[in-house]
Structure 1
Amino acid sequence: MTLSIAKWKLDDYHRIVEMGLLDERPVELLYGEIVQMSPEGEPHAYYSRTAGEYLMRILGDRALVSQAKPITLPNDSEPEPDIAIVQRLGREYLSHHPYPENIFWVIEYSQSSLEKDSTVKYRLYAEAGIAEYWLVNLARRELIIYRDPRDGEYGSKMTLTEGEVTPLAFAEIEIPVEALISAD
Structure 2
Amino acid sequence: MTSLPEWMRPPREEGWFADDLDHLPEAPRHTELIDGALVFMMSPQRSWHARVVTTLTSTLMQQAPEGFEVEREMTVRLDRRNRPEPDVLVTRSTFDPDRTWHAPEHVALVVEVVSPESEHRDRTVKLRKYAEAGIPHYWCVEEESSVPVVHVYELDRPTGVYAPAAIVRGTLERVVPFEVGIDLGALVPRKSR
Q: Report 1:119-130 matches (<5 A).
A: 119-130=124-135
Does the 8 Å CA contact 1:47/1:180 hold for their aligned counterparts? Answer: no
SS of 1:51's partner is: helix
Q: For the residues of structure 1 that align with 2:29 and 2:111, how far apart are their CA atoms?
A: 22
> Which letter does structure 1 place at the counterpart of 2:182?
P
| Aligned residue number for residue 184 of structure 2 | 178
| Aligned residue number for residue 30 of structure 1 | 34
The aligned length equals 173
1:65 aligns with 2:57: no
Q: For the residues of structure 1 that align with 2:56 and 2:48, how far apart are their CA atoms?
A: 12
Q: For the residues of structure 2 that align with 1:50 and 1:74, how far apart are their CA atoms?
A: 30
| Aligned residue number for residue 51 of structure 2 | 46
| Aligned residue number for residue 120 of structure 2 | 115
Give 1:70 deviation, angstroms: 1.3
Give % identity: 26
Q: For the residues of structure 1 that align with 2:66 and 2:149, how far apart are their CA atoms?
A: 28
- TM-score normalised over the length of structure 1: 0.80
2:110 aligns with one of 106, 109, 121: 106
| Aligned residue number for residue 168 of structure 1 | 176
Give 1:109 deviation, angstroms: 0.6
Does the 8 Å CA contact 2:137/2:177 hold for their aligned counterparts? Answer: no
Does the 8 Å CA contact 1:29/1:79 hold for their aligned counterparts? Answer: yes
* CA offset digits 1:87-122 (Å, max 9, x no partner): 23234x746621111111011111212222001111
Q: For the residues of structure 1 that align with 2:46 and 2:167, how far apart are their CA atoms?
A: 23
| Aligned residue number for residue 147 of structure 1 | 154
Uncovered stretches (5+) of structure 2, i.e. residues with no partner: 1-12
Q: Which aligned segments of 4 or more residues in structure 1 are displaced greater than 4 angstroms?
A: 149-152, 179-182
Alignment root-mean-square deviation, CA: 2.5
Alpha carbons of structure 1 residues 136 and 97: separation in structure 2 relative to 1, 3 Å? same
Bigger mean CA offset, 120-129 vs 54-63: 54-63
Does the 8 Å CA contact 1:48/1:83 hold for their aligned counterparts? Answer: yes
SS of 1:57's partner is: helix
1:132 aligns with one of 125, 137, 142: 137
Q: For the residues of structure 2 that align with 1:153 and 1:75, how far apart are their CA atoms?
A: 20
Uncovered stretches (5+) of structure 1, i.e. residues with no partner: none
SS of 2:71's partner is: strand
